[in-house]
Structure 1
Amino acid sequence: MIFQFGIPTKTLFGVGQLNHLHEQMMPGKKALLILSNGISAKKYGYLNRTEKELHLAGVETVLFDQIEPNPTKTTVMMGAAVARQEKCDFLVALGGGSCIDASKAIAVMATNKGDLWDYIQNGTGKRQPIAVNPLPIIAITTTAGTGSETDAGGVITNTETNEKTPIKSPLLFPKLAIIDPELMLTVPPKYTAYQGFDALFHNIEGYLSCKANLMSEMIALEAVDQISTWLPVAVQDGSNIEARERVAFGNYLGGLEMCTSSNMSEHSLEHALTAYHQELPHGAGLIMLSKAYFTYMIEHHVCDERFVALAKKMGRTDAEKPEEFIIALEELKEKCDVSDLKMSDYGIVPDEFPKMAANAKSAMAFLFEGDRMELKEEDCVNILNAAYQ
């Protein structure tokens, strides 16, 4: 029953909430607006709307629109240099999980000396404490996938060492989060599915984790119910605002879940995939791994009753065996048109699996602490091989 719940982020949730940004207390006078290197925020007017709201609040803005999917340390250091040069005193991340994750790293490096990897606590990171408070962050999410708008970490890739791991600190909770489903209406079906499954797995892993507790279980089961029910609707009809809002709520709960419980090594394994293959969308990688990963857990009977409970939340209301979770998971993939994803389509080959397993056990070692059974490197290789197509 022991848990900690201390999430300081003020959240505006619901349709039209971006329109209330100008009414909020701003953490500064000049903001670095952080966007992806894509076109959607500009094309669909989200950037103009955000700038208008900030200007109404008396905030000057500078644009940094260079964030790539699976953001890199190099780009983070560029963003931090712009923030310092322009004398920005806070950040506004407008976009998906990559933008929000990158903003947390930029926030640290805009105020601290050296290299981002000086402050990374895993892998080859130098594990230094953050000496100077990072810049405050406002997170405006345009996707429903990562929950990063209300948690204290951001995952960054170091292309020099092929490590993908988070910068984490209670100092990195955004001051304000806006979760407005109107901003998600234009996400294409494929990416709606990838992002939705990422949110789903945050909650599933949190529920299965050995760090689960009454608070995290309550959060996770509600989120799994919402996402399993509404994600297929959002994928098939992206204009369905209720479906978008429900999936966004499940994603928001996933952020809370990561703060009250923990992800598991499924996320470590996926981050190792994208550390070497940056073009692989994170959610797609998780989908590829999921059947083999959770089947391995079920075969070892680590928590049969929890898998049964998840199966019931995912639509198999009469479930009695843990294997029915896998059936429910595969049915959901079919409904969302993501059942045929293959690692080989992204250039991944089995010869890479030993180094990927070692990478997962180093760069993202801490998530293995959430597992209910020990996974050695050879177990990780076996799971990767079982997932390979």
Structure 2
Amino acid sequence: MDFQYFIPTKILFGPGKLNELSKVKLPGTKALIVISGGNSMRKYGYLDKVQCLLKENGVQSLVFDKILPNPVLSSVMEGASIAKRECCDFVVGLGGGSSIDAAKSIAVMAINPGNYWDYISGGSGGNKPVSKKALPIVAITTTAGTGTEADPWTVITKEDTNEKIGFGIEDTFPILSIVDPELMTSIPPHLTAYQGFDALFHATEGYIANISTPLSDIFALKSIELISQNLSKAVKNGENITARTNVALANTLSGMVESTSSCTSEHSMEHALSAYHPELPHGAGLIMLCESYYSFFEDKVAEKFIDMAKAMGEDVDSLPEHKRPHSFITALKKLIKNCNVEALKMSDFGIKEDEIPKIAENARNTMGGLFTLDRYTLSLDETIEIIKNAYK
């Protein structure tokens, strides 16, 4: 019973909560709204609505709309330059995890000198301390995947070196997050699945990490349960607001897991995959890795695996004791099939088997810190083995 708890974010959660943006206390009077380079925020009217609600609340806004699905360093620096030039006093991340992550990084660089990579601790990062307080961040999530609305983490790729690395400080916790499941009904089925599995693995990794706490365990098991019961329903019927709400809650809980525990090396491996192949959706990469990854760890964290299997609804107690941990893998495969993502192949995203040693080394060099949070220390050869076993 030795842990710290710090999540300073005010969260407005529930269908229709976006409307409260017109009256909730905001941290400034001029916002840079950060969105993706796609058209969904405009197509579904989310951007217009946010700008109107901000205006009702006395806030001017301008839009930066160049964020990629795997956000990159050059966009962070460009967005920060605009925020400085236009004297924005806070940043709004509107959309999925990529937009909110980029908003966090932009908020840091709108105030601090130099290049964002100066402050990154992994890979070629400069590991400098952040000297000035970042601009306040408001997160409005339209997806249920990253949990970034309830944690300080942001993941950005340095394009020229294929380094995809996480970063977070106290200032990159959003001061306000709005989680409105009504904004998630437009997500297509395959993306609903990818995002939901990302949330699931934040919870499962946080549960088996060697720094998990009693509090993170509570968040994790509830998140795992909610996703197991509701994700396939949301995939099959995106308008099912009850399923959407439960998956959204699971996602926010998984963000709280990230704030009180951590991811493990599974995420390092996927970040390396999508650093070299940015067209690979993060959640899809995790789905392809998961059976191989968790099969490797099941006998090393047996009791935790039994707990996760129970949270996913498996009748563990009826099995012989030595087979109980594998029930989690069984449940995982069922959920993957029920969400219609069992046919994913790395080769479909241009990944070649002979790249795997390079990808494994990248995972260990850029986000090696997550390998230290596993309950078993993986070697490079074992890392390669896990990715090779997942390759198909």
Q: Which amino acid letter does the alignment assign opposite residue 315 of structure 2? A: T
3-state secondary structure, aligned to 2:161: coil
Aligned 1:14-25 pairs, distance under 5 A:
14-25=14-25
Quote the residue 1:275 is aligned against: 275
- String of CA shifts for 1:249-274, please: whole Å, max 9, x gaps: 00000000011111110000000000
Quote the residue 1:352 is aligned against: 355
Q: Distance in 2 between matches of 1:8 and 1:45?
A: 30
Q: Distance in 2 between matches of 1:62 and 1:309?
A: 47
- String of CA shifts for 1:221-268, please: whole Å, max 9, x gaps: 111000110000000000000000000000000000011111110000
Question: How far did 1:117 drift?
Answer: 0.5
Q: Distance in 2 between matches of 1:198 and 1:138?
A: 22
Quote the residue 1:38 is aligned against: 38
Question: How far did 1:161 drift?
Answer: 1.1
Q: Distance in 2 between matches of 1:354 and 1:2?
A: 38
Q: Distance in 2 between matches of 1:8 and 1:210?
A: 24
1:333 aligned to which of 311, 332, 336: 336
Q: Distance in 2 between matches of 1:231 and 1:165?
A: 28
Q: Distance in 2 between matches of 1:28 and 1:150?
A: 21
3-state secondary structure, aligned to 1:262: coil
Q: Say whether the 8 Å CA contact 2:227–2:250 is kept in structure 1.
A: yes
3-state secondary structure, aligned to 1:61: strand
Quote the residue 2:255 is aligned against: 255
Q: Distance in 2 between matches of 1:170 and 1:250?
A: 23
3-state secondary structure, aligned to 1:160: helix
Quote the residue 1:76 is aligned against: 76
Quote the residue 1:323 is aligned against: 326
Quote the residue 1:168 is aligned against: 168
Q: Which 4+ residue blocks in structure 1 deviate beyond 6 angstroms? A: none
3-state secondary structure, aligned to 1:24: coil
Quote the residue 1:198 is aligned against: 198
Which sits farther off after the overlay, 246-255 or 203-212?
Answer: 203-212
Q: Say whether the 8 Å CA contact 1:212–1:261 is kept in structure 2.
A: yes
Q: Distance in 1 between matches of 2:120 and 2:261?
A: 21
3-state secondary structure, aligned to 2:138: strand
Q: Distance in 2 between matches of 1:27 and 1:324?
A: 47
Q: Distance in 2 between matches of 1:112 and 1:212?
A: 32
Q: Say whether the 8 Å CA contact 1:104–1:154 is kept in structure 2.
A: yes
3-state secondary structure, aligned to 1:106: helix
RMSD of aligned alpha carbons: 0.8
Quote the residue 1:363 is aligned against: 366
Q: Say whether the 8 Å CA contact 1:120–1:126 is kept in structure 2.
A: yes
Q: Which amino acid letter does the alignment assign opposite residue 53 of structure 1? A: L
Q: Which amino acid letter does the alignment assign opposite residue 374 of structure 2? A: D
Which sits farther off after the overlay, 35-44 or 281-290?
Answer: 35-44
- String of CA shifts for 1:123-145, please: whole Å, max 9, x gaps: 11000111111111100000000
* Identical-residue share of aligned pairs (%): 51
Gaps of at least 5 residues in structure 2 are none
Q: Distance in 2 between matches of 1:75 and 1:143?
A: 21
Question: How far did 1:120 drift?
Answer: 0.5
3-state secondary structure, aligned to 1:333: helix
Which sits farther off after the overlay, 242-251 or 1-10?
Answer: 1-10
1:302 aligned to which of 295, 300, 314: 300
3-state secondary structure, aligned to 2:121: coil
Quote the residue 1:2 is aligned against: 2
Q: Distance in 2 between matches of 1:353 and 1:7?
A: 37
Q: Say whether the 8 Å CA contact 2:306–2:316 is kept in structure 1.
A: no
Which sits farther off after the overlay, 77-86 or 235-244?
Answer: 77-86
Quote the residue 2:100 is aligned against: 100
Quote the residue 1:141 is aligned against: 141
Quote the residue 2:157 is aligned against: 157
Q: TM-score, normalized by length of structure 1?
A: 0.98
Which sits farther off after the overlay, 70-79 or 303-312?
Answer: 303-312
3-state secondary structure, aligned to 1:156: strand
Quote the residue 1:122 is aligned against: 122
Q: Distance in 1 between matches of 2:68 and 2:114?
A: 22
Quote the residue 2:384 is aligned against: 381
Question: How far did 1:69 drift?
Answer: 0.4
Aligned 1:200-219 pairs, distance under 5 A:
200-219=200-219
Q: Distance in 1 between matches of 2:326 and 2:175?
A: 42
Question: How far did 1:24 drift?
Answer: 1.2
Q: Which amino acid letter does the alignment assign opposite residue 27 of structure 2? A: P
Q: Distance in 1 between matches of 2:378 and 2:100?
A: 30
Quote the residue 1:60 is aligned against: 60
Q: Distance in 1 between matches of 2:150 and 2:330?
A: 31
3-state secondary structure, aligned to 2:129: coil
Q: Say whether the 8 Å CA contact 1:104–1:167 is kept in structure 2.
A: no
Gaps of at least 5 residues in structure 1 are none
Q: Distance in 1 between matches of 2:220 and 2:2?
A: 16
Q: Say whether the 8 Å CA contact 2:15–2:182 is kept in structure 1.
A: yes
- String of CA shifts for 1:171-209, please: whole Å, max 9, x gaps: 111110000000000000000000000000000111111
Question: How far did 1:387 drift?
Answer: 0.2
